[in-house]
Copies of this chain bind each other. A is one copy, B any other.
Amino acid sequence: MTDRLIYLPLGGAGEIGMNAYVYGYGAPGKERLIVVDLGVAFPDMDTSPGVDLILPDIAWLVERRAQIEGIFITHAHEDHVGAIGHYWERLGAPVYARRFTANIARRKLAEHGHPDSVVKVVAPFPQVVDCGPFKVSYLPISHSIPESAGLLIDTPDGRVLHSGDFKIDETPVVGDPWNRALWEDVSKNGVKALICDSTNVFSTAPGRSESTIGPAITEMMKEASGMVVATTFASNIARLKTLAMGARHADRSVVLLGRAMRRMVEAATEEGILDGFPAVISPEDALNVPRENLMLLVTGSQGERRAASAQLAQGSYMGLKLQEGDTFLFSSKTIPGNERGVIRIMNQLSELGVDVIDDAGGKYHVSGHANRPDLETLHQIVKPQFLIPMHGEHRHLREHVKLGRANGITGIVAVNGMMIDLSGNTPKVAEYIETGRTYLDGTAKVGAMDGVVRDRIRMALNGQMVVTLIIDENDEPLGDPWVEISGLSETGRSNTSLADIVEQDLSQFINRANAKTLRDDVKLEKELKTIARRSTQAEIGKKPEVIVIVSRLS
């Protein structure tokens, strides 16, 4: 069979977050593989209650461990690098990254006991990593974290450009500015496929530079009378710098609150990419500074319950307290699904008399991703034979394909698990891979479809009932069945205990049950469950989850 070039998203295509893409080249089934990014997504109460992190399902890769030549991380955001520590042992291939990203990746690997040597630092283009049939270079591109990069992947079937997360920003505050000449240069001899960020395809205005919001932030911090608190993603290092510089210009000392915030600034400082970032003071020292000379930079822009912002909103954090006249700035977008959490904090701040400023006007926040006109700019520069949108929900991918098509570029919607053959004159679906999400739940990894989380959701929606019955050595019931409830109203229609009512109905059944039924565990459990549910339904209008425990003495 002839060799082929394949692209397979395992995460990030059909969702925002959890990026994990695979490229392969070789005979079908024997391709040599590289992995681009290994990110995480974040759980929510609706679909993944109690889960700690969402990881891509990498079973397909693990089965092909021996074919993996390398893992390339485009930048240090959690949705691109967050899974590296959890998965490296099962993949075993060298990890490549630019210097700052490598710093972050090494911290994550160290948490799982892996040495720094796992990660190889790569300089930007024209440095080339030879990786089996692939030659890979890092193409600097502007984004909201330093040293973000797209990847130039030369293959025997032609050149592939993987955009990574990007925006077109000539003055990005930190990291490399947009370098049109570089992208023109690498595109001039023809590009087989552009695999391209899609998150902002519905944003029709041209993107704005990070540096456009600095003046408004400085102004706001000057005008505020009390303490100013600002929150954004800790990994949005560009914004951290914009906010800290604003504070300095407004004669405010900067305090970093929250572990992720301190960690990111530490890593960026270590790598020397936060030049000009003002010195920070400790929370203890801040207590001796007048509040009009303070700016707290805090975690929790998404309303996370345990983050610094939530704790400040509830009263205090590390001795620092908010009060009437203080100002709280959300310099961030609220990710869909997090609105309630953010609003809860806003209202708690309102109760304290704190003025809240949010992203409503776009005055204090710009996106780190390329808007629609900027995507078109990249398409026009690269002029790829194929456009494969990545990093987006289905609607983003589909819209991005439509956008490319309108400009004459062939595209295809490829969602997680769709292996695309890029070798021919049109991109084709080669195979559908069974994939999904893996939940990190405590320290266990469970498949999203394993039923574990489904059972939790059912208990949350329906409540839980435990029915216990003891059967003696002669297959006779020993006493009556009894019932424990959890998450159910204690009383119902009859105004007496729900458990009592259900126990009566169960006893009635048991007292009439014949010897055959009492000997048959399966039947007994099924009947008791049915009666418990029916009886609860009649009493309180709900059908609970029921666990039946039949204990047989022998």
> Which residues on A are within 8 Å of B, measured CB to CB?
14, 44-47, 49-50, 202, 336-337, 339-341, 343, 346-347, 349-351, 353, 356, 360, 393-395, 398, 441-446, 452-453, 455-457, 459-464, 466, 468, 470, 478-479, 484, 486-493, 537, 540-542, 545, 547, 549, 551, 553
Q: Cα distance A360–B341 when bound, in Å?
A: 22
Contact yes or no, B486 A459, CB < 8 A: yes
Which of the residues B337, B441, B493, B553 comes within 8 Å of A340, measured between beta carbons? B337
State how many copies of this chain the complex holds: 2
Taking A339-B339, A456-B487 as contacts, is the C-beta distance between A356 and B464 under 8 angstroms? no
Give Cα A169–Cα B50 distance, bound, in whole angstroms. Answer: 46
The residues of B that contact A442 with a CB separation of less than 8 Å are 489, 537, 540-542
Distance between Cα atoms of A420 and B76 in the complex (Å): 54
- Known contacts A442-B541, A468-B468, A470-B470; A455 and B337 CB within 8 A of each other: no
Q: List 30 A-B contacts (CB under 8 A).
A: A14-B347, A44-B340, A45-B45, A45-B49, A50-B460, A50-B461, A50-B462, A50-B542, A336-B339, A347-B393, A350-B393, A350-B398, A351-B394, A441-B489, A441-B540, A442-B489, A443-B541, A445-B489, A446-B489, A455-B463, A455-B487, A456-B459, A456-B460, A459-B486, A460-B460, A466-B549, A468-B551, A470-B470, A470-B553, A484-B547
Find the B residue at minimum CB distance from A498: B444
For A490, what are the chain B residues with a Cβ–Cβ distance below 8 Å? 452
In the complex, residue of chain B having the shortest beta-carbon distance to the beta carbon of A52? B541
Q: Which residues of B contact A461 (CB under 8 A)?
A: 49-50, 456
Q: Are B346 and A395 in contact (CB under 8 A)?
A: yes
In the complex, what distance in Å separates the CA atom of A478 from the CA atom of B553? 8
- Residues of B within 8 Å of A353, CB to CB, are 398
CA distance A493 to B70 in the complex (A): 28
Give A347 to B336 CA distance when docked, in angstroms: 14
